[in-house]
Amino acid sequence: MNSEQAKIEILRLTKLINHHNHLYYVESSSEISDFEFDALLRELQVLENKFPDYAYSNSPTKRVGGDLTKKFDTVVHRYPMLSLSNSYSEEDIIEWENRIKKLIDGQIEFVCELKYDGVAIGIRYENGQLSQAVTRGDGEKGEDVTANVRTIRTIPLSLVGNFPKDFEIRGEIFMPIAVFEKLNSQRAEEGEQLFANPRNTASGTLKMQDSKVVATRCLDSYLYGIYGEELSAEGHFESVEKTASWGFKSPSIKDRFIEKTNSIEGVMNFIHYWEEKRFSLPFEIDGVVIKVNSFGQQIELGFTAKSPRWAIAYKFKANRVETTLLSVDYQVGRTGAVTPVANLNPVQLGGTTVKRASLHNQDQIKKLDLHIGDVVYVEKGGEIIPKIVGVNTGQRKSHLRKIIFPLTCPACESLLHRKDGEAGHFCTNYRGCPPQVKGKIDHFVSRKALNIEGLGEETVDLLFENNLVKNVADIYRLSFDQLMKLDRMADKSVNNLLMNIQNSKNIPFERVLFGLGIRFVGETVAKKLAKHFGSIDKLIEASYDELIDVDEIGEKIAKSLIEYFSDSLSKELISELKMFNLQLETSKLVNFEGVLSGKTIVVSGTFSAFSRDEMKELIEQNGGRNGSSISSKTDFLVAGENMGPSKLKKAVDLELEILSEDEFIKLLKKKF
């Protein structure tokens, strides 16, 4: 490709990827698979590396984050970033309406919005390109966090449609609750200090020096106001609608994230609705914001020193209640981590009855100085499990007993162990402690690991109680007769389960490695290790230095791997899995003689050992081509479950060869 062609191709790919990004992250739909998307991104990256002069500074390849920033520049806001005046009751809102009614004539339209609990951001776009993103700071000047904001997928890097030439859009950056919870459970697992709430975590993340780390934190945003010289909208509501047409994720009208009303009753209705429904949102809000819609009226109303007169925040009451701490249970997870959970006197909080609260670890108990029988403050953020945030010491009775963290495992009575520098306690009876054994099996059979359908938690419990499984290799020893003896098992379900167990032997190495449940070896790390070492044997042989040499494998992971593989029971388990023919090396399904070369193959339906994208990748790795639809050019069809009847009929009409998942895998293994 010459440089002129490269320039055109880079532009084409950049636009195409931006389009798919918008569809996926803003409109929650997609026209292509993740696999195809990644392929486009890789193609663009290759071209950009070859022809760096033509790469756009706002290229979608930059979303993964880049070099360290060291420190943030200070930027003076072109329009000061004010805050809102707060109100806490319906009377406050009515007073506000009375005040503004006196200042302007005519009908007032209100816009009600959610008050996102995150960090305020101002993002400037020049000629449709994101040029700068600045935090609120002291309202006059903030910090330039452009590199970090670029990693947020819902914020467009380039705009589409009829946008103003130079404007600033403001909004809130936040961390979705699910992301926050996942991050904290990882940190708990790693014995690290937990983050307090999604808001602080979002704020801390946005100020991180390394935008690569920011990119992994999955921040999100909602944008709620534009500022500039030539904005053509009449009012706030219309301007927000317009931003959607330029590619921004604007609040959904359908879901009532934003609403226009011309009466204060409408405002109250919105407030009541969200006061009740706030916990069903995937992100935290701390109130609603009411704004006067008309820009003309906004100008008339103007500002006080700190905030606009045309807007007011209605803050929800803190979701804090008092109740008594009855007792503490200790739960043992699959890695042996022991988590204290408080049992509370049931209390109503945010629309649900709360009976339990997480206490995370011993340090947390110490910090709160908890005693059984204490009157505690319980708060509910968006998290599923509420938190104990403090003790009402004024109400502490004198005879109460301090909580003492147990010395032995509540499930198997082995001594608990606390590693140096870590906050968590672990039961080290990894192979014999029932919740650990069962948890490890549950993890091994889970969808992202060996994907053995029919082995839910209850069945694993039954198998364990009947002494049929004590480790994951035992799954492959199960017989028809043994399974039939279990409660609620019939011919059909047993046969299905045995078939699913059999099929799991085709699951690629990286997922088997993930399934082993080695501490700190999540999906991504397992993928990296599998790719780098190629087989479990090479991984077992790897020294500490060889391990930390691998990109993104740090001390913690390396130590954990060495510890795992130096245990003779782990080695025994792995030889057993080998004996049962599980995939313990990467390339087994890549047939170097290219059985599929020159062939066009269509895959359809769902498969048990692979996702559809993995199937397609396998076809390419073996020299085949993926056809998008069935035609006379198709060589054969790989039919999974639930494939569409019309596709099947077409294949039959064309007399195509149709292979099942198993037959297809056998074909790949044929000349190996």
Residues that bind ligand IVH (CB under 6 A): 82-84, 113-116, 120, 136, 172, 224-225, 289, 308, 311, 313
The torsion angle over the Cα atoms of residues 639, 641, 647 and 652, rounded to 10 degrees, is 50
Task: Tell me how far, at minimum, the Cβ of 26 lies from ligand IVH, in Å.
Answer: 18
- Amino acid in position 226: I
313 or 391: whose CB is closer to ligand IVH? 313
Task: Tell me how far, at minimum, the Cβ of 211 lies from ligand IVH, in Å.
Answer: 22
240 or 639: whose CB is closer to ligand IVH? 240
Per DSSP, the three-state class of 564 is helix
- Measured distance CA(454)–CA(496) in Å, rounded: 8
Task: Tell me how far, at minimum, the Cβ of 114 lies from ligand IVH, in Å.
Answer: 6
Closest to 391 in 3D by CA, of 377, 378, 405, 410: 377
41 or 223: whose CB is closer to ligand IVH? 223
Distance, C-alpha 212 to centroid of its chain? 16
CB 72 within 8 A of CB 172: no
115 labelled catalytic: yes
- Using only C-alpha atoms, what is the Rg of the chain? 29
Sheet holding 119-126, edge to edge: 129-135, 119-126, 166-174, 220-228
120 or 130: whose CB is closer to ligand IVH? 120
225 or 594: whose CB is closer to ligand IVH? 225
Task: Tell me how far, at minimum, the Cβ of 264 lies from ligand IVH, in Å.
Answer: 18
291 or 519: whose CB is closer to ligand IVH? 291
- Amino acid in position 474: D
DSSP annotation of 308 reads B
Task: Tell me how far, at minimum, the Cβ of 350 lies from ligand IVH, in Å.
Answer: 19
- List CB contacts of 153: < 8 A, sequence separation 6 or more: 21, 24, 25, 63
Task: Tell me how far, at minimum, the Cβ of 170 lies from ligand IVH, in Å.
Answer: 7
Task: Tell me how far, at minimum, the Cβ of 318 lies from ligand IVH, in Å.
Answer: 16
62 or 291: whose CB is closer to ligand IVH? 291
Task: Tell me how far, at minimum, the Cβ of 174 lies from ligand IVH, in Å.
Answer: 9
CB 132 within 8 A of CB 148: no
Is the backbone of residue 661 left (phi > 0), alpha (psi -120 to 50) or beta?
Answer: alpha
- Measured distance CA(268)–CA(94) in Å, rounded: 10
CB 504 within 8 A of CB 498: no
Task: Tell me how far, at minimum, the Cβ of 316 lies from ligand IVH, in Å.
Answer: 13
CB 286 within 8 A of CB 381: no
Could you count the other beta carbons within 10 Å of the beta carbon of residue 102? 7
233 or 489: whose CB is closer to ligand IVH? 233
Q: At what angle do helices 3-21 and 34-50 cross, to 10 degrees?
A: 150
Distance, C-alpha 618 to centroid of its chain? 27
- Measured distance CA(182)–CA(186) in Å, rounded: 6
307 or 570: whose CB is closer to ligand IVH? 307
Q: How many degrees, rounded to 5, is the angle at CA 526 between CA 525 and CA 528?
A: 65
120 or 206: whose CB is closer to ligand IVH? 120
- Measured distance CA(125)–CA(112) in Å, rounded: 26
- Measured distance CA(595)–CA(625) in Å, rounded: 12
Residue of 15, 50, 115, 633 marked catalytic: 115
Task: Tell me how far, at minimum, the Cβ of 308 lies from ligand IVH, in Å.
Answer: 5
The per-residue DSSP string of 101-146 comes to HHHS-S---EEEEEEE-SEEEEEEEETTEEEEEEE-TTSSEEEB-H
CB 372 within 8 A of CB 400: yes
Closest to 114 in 3D by CA, of 302, 253, 218: 253
224 or 444: whose CB is closer to ligand IVH? 224
Task: Tell me how far, at minimum, the Cβ of 257 lies from ligand IVH, in Å.
Answer: 9
Helices (H) and strands (E) counted in the chain, each on its own, are 24, 24
Residue with tokens 């019309």: 646
3-state percent breakdown (helix, strand, coil) of the chain, nearest 5: 40, 20, 40
Long-range contacts at 392-395 (CB < 8 A, ≥ 24 apart): 392/322
Hey, which residues are catalytic here? 115
